[in-house]
Structure formats: C-alpha cells, structure tokens
Chain A
Amino acid sequence: MWPIPVLEHELVSISFFPDALVCSWIQKTKTGTAPLVLRAYQHYPLTNLELENLIPFNPTVIKKCIISFLREHGLQNAFVTFCLCNDSGVMEKFVAMPISTPHRSDFGIAQSSNMLWEYRYLYPNDHGQYVFYVYSIPRSLILQYQLLAVAAQCNLITITTQTMALLDAYKTIFGVAFRRSQLAVDMMRYDNNVEQLISVDALRRMMSIPAGINTIDERLPIAAACGLMCVERIEE
C-alpha cells in the first residue's frame, strides 16, 4: 500500500439543501476575464426525503451522487468541502452585542456537549453595537457528515454553513477593498439576509459560468462554492 495518499490541486464543493445536493468544481484561471471558472456543476434533486433537516436519512443515495460526480470528472483525490444550507439542522442568528470582544457566556447559549456553537464578528451597526454571526450544530450531525465523507472516500477538509461561505464569497468579491462598514450597509439594507448580498452580476464578474447553467436559479450554491474556493488556499 502506498504510504501517502495522492493529492490533487482541485477543490470540490458539495452543498446540502433540503431538496437537493449540489456538486461544483471550481478552478482558478488566469486566461479568462474572471479569476475563477466553474468547470463542473451538477444539481442532484433529493425529493424522497433522503435529506431531511440536513440529516442524511438515505446516505447511500447521497454517497452515490457524490461518488458519481467525483468519478465523472476524475476528482477522487481532490479536496472536498461540505456546505450546509440554512435549515433547521443548523441554528444561525445574528446577535448584536454592546462590546466588540464579548465572552462566550455573554451570548447566553447554554453549554452542551451535544451541540457545537461558535460566533464570528461581522460588522458594527448604526446603533454603536457589534453584530456577530452565531451558529450551532448538533455534534451527531457533524459525525454523520464525516461518516458520509468516509463512505464516499473523499478528502474532506471543511464542513461549514452556507451563510459563512456566502460571507467569504462577499469578502472575496470585494478583495482588498472589503470593509466591514460596507458589509454593515449591505447587511442592513437586506435585513441581514446574506443570500441577497451577492448578485448575479457580481458572481459573473468573479467566475466564468458555462452557458448551460441557469445562474439565477443556481446563484446561491455557486456563490457558496465560490466562497469556499476562495477561502481555501489550494495550490495551482
């Protein structure tokens, strides 16, 4: 047996929605107008309760979808990220705090060994408060996704939320011009609806998307995949 696994300089993003599984393969490019290019994209509908509340009730079907996508494009050794959409499986909220460096106990979330929760600072609002993104997820759910990755034999490096992936994509679109004050303006404009932050035009400027893909319908998974691709430092 070869002592070290083969590494491929590719990243595959897999987004889990309540009714669908979306696999996308994005590459960095220097030839086109956009810095990224969507090499492959596949939307697998899950209409038979295979994934309910982000709990994989039929992991065999989900595993087959993932494996078929990886095999079809020869990405068995690529890095894989899982992105969990906003659903009842993951609790997310934006909390405004009077201080920018709060303690964990300040959030008033009970400590539990069954739940994993964390917070990230986002922006200061107009009332002089600091808005934090707080998320919590059952550890059992994380374990199920890890087992799914083991079953699919993929090199899983990240499990994150769609909100965080979209925020990363937003930050990447702005690049060095990213300012938290601008994020505050945009977030307050859309009433903290992160899904509205990234427009189709902004996405097209960031990434070359093949003509066969309906960008308006598939905007969120593509934007999330874009954010995951940019936050991971994959060698070219």
Chain B
Amino acid sequence: MKKVNFITTLSPQKQYEIRRWFWVTIFLCISAIAVVAYFIVPQVCLYWSLKKEITSLHKKTQLYADATKNRDALKSEYDKFRVRENKIDVYTNKAKNPHRYIAVIMQACNEQVKLEALRCNKKECEITILCPTPEHATVFIKHLTASDVFSRVKMVSLQQDGQSKLMRCVVKGTMITS
C-alpha cells in the first residue's frame, strides 16, 4: 500500500541525504583548502620573501645608482685634481722652482716684518723688507743664513722709510741650488 501523506515535505531520507551532503561538502571543501594550501602556501611564502628581497635590492640599487653617479663625478673631479696636482708637482719639483726659497723667506718674515720686494737674477737675489727696528732685520738675516737654501746673506742698506715709521732694509744673498 502506498503511503498516504497530506503534505509534501522532505522525507527523513532526503533530510539524511542533505545532512550527508552538507558534511561531505564541508569535508571536501576543507580537504581542498588544505591540499591547495599545502601546494600554494610555500610558493606564496617564497613569493613574499622574493618580493621583500626585490624591494630591499631596489632600495639598495637606487642608492647604488646615486653612489655610482657620485663616484663618477668624484672620479672625474679626482682626475682633474690629479692632473692639476701632477702639474703642481712637476712645477714644484723643478730645479729652478723658487718656491722653497720663497717659503724660507716667508718663514723668516713675521708679523712685524713685511716683504716688500724680491728680485732674483740667476743665483743672486735681492730682498727688500719693511721692519720696525734694525733688530728685526738682523733676525731676518739670521733666519735666512741658518737655512740651507741661502748663503752669504748680508744687509746692503737700512734706511728710514719717509712715509711710515718703518725701516726699509735691502738684503742680498746667494741661492743654493741642489
């Protein structure tokens, strides 16, 4: 005999099926997520680490580009300086370079002694200074005599300057060439 039912409802079998379907679907979804995560997560982690590394390298590369630019600029500047320095060195190390003589003269001058004129003719040189007292001129001559670049230093004239109270002293000496 066929069952009599006035209403159309979900039979217990259908309800059990729905419940089974629900749990199986949940289980399959979780399994699928777990499996996908098992394969995807390491790649995602790798991706993130690579992205991080790329970002840091980008930052470093940007600094490196600036540094490279600076380095190029500094290098060109350095080269220019080297050329100049070489020129200066060549000039400084020349045998006829009067630099060391002038340096000794300038060292012999102090705040009160002023160099007014310097005239060189081959090995002979004539130095004109302005000093307040004759003692200053004497000290100046002693300094030059004590140095190893001048010899036979002697005072040629010492006279009062007309316009100021200083004394003009003319010193002659012989430059020693190495």
Q: How many residues of A contact B (CB 8 A)?
A: 29
Q: Complex formed: what's the CA distance from A116 to B13 in Å?
A: 25
Residues of B within 8 A of A164 (CB): 1, 3-4
Query: Of A118, A157, A231, A232, which contacts B10 at CB under 8 A?
Result: A157
CA A168 – CA B3 in complex, angstroms? Answer: 8
B22→A4 contact, CB < 8 A: yes
Is there contact, CB below 8 Å, between B6 and A231? no
- Determine whether the beta carbon of A3 is less than 8 Å from that of B22: yes
> CB of B86 within 8 A of chain A?
no
Taking the complex as formed, is B122 at the interface, i.e. its CB lies under 8 A from any CB of chain A?
no
Is the pair B1, A142 in contact by a Cβ cutoff of 8 Å? no
Taking a contact as CB atoms closer than 8 A, the residue among B7, B13, B18, B22 that contacts A233 in the complex is B13
A118 to B, closest residue via Cβ: B4
Is B19 an interface residue when CB atoms closer than 8 A count as contact?
A: yes
- B89 CB, min distance to chain A CBs, angstroms: 91
Task: Collect the chain B residues with CB atoms within 8 Å of residue A232's CB.
Answer: 12
- Establish whether residues A120 and B2, one from each chain, have CB atoms under 8 Å apart when the complex forms: yes
Q: Does B5 have its Cβ within 8 Å of any Cβ on chain A?
A: yes
Q: Is the CB of A171 within 8 A of B1?
A: yes
Q: How far is the CA of A7 from the CA of B15 in the complex (A)?
A: 8
- Bound-state Cα–Cα, A231 to B2, Å: 10
Contact B16 A158 (CB under 8 A): no
**A171 cross-chain contacts in B, Cβ below 8 A:** 1
Contact pick for A142, options B4, B7, B11, B18, CB 8 Å: B7
Interface residues, chain B, CB within 8 Å of chain A?
Answer: 1-7, 9-13, 15-16, 18-19, 22
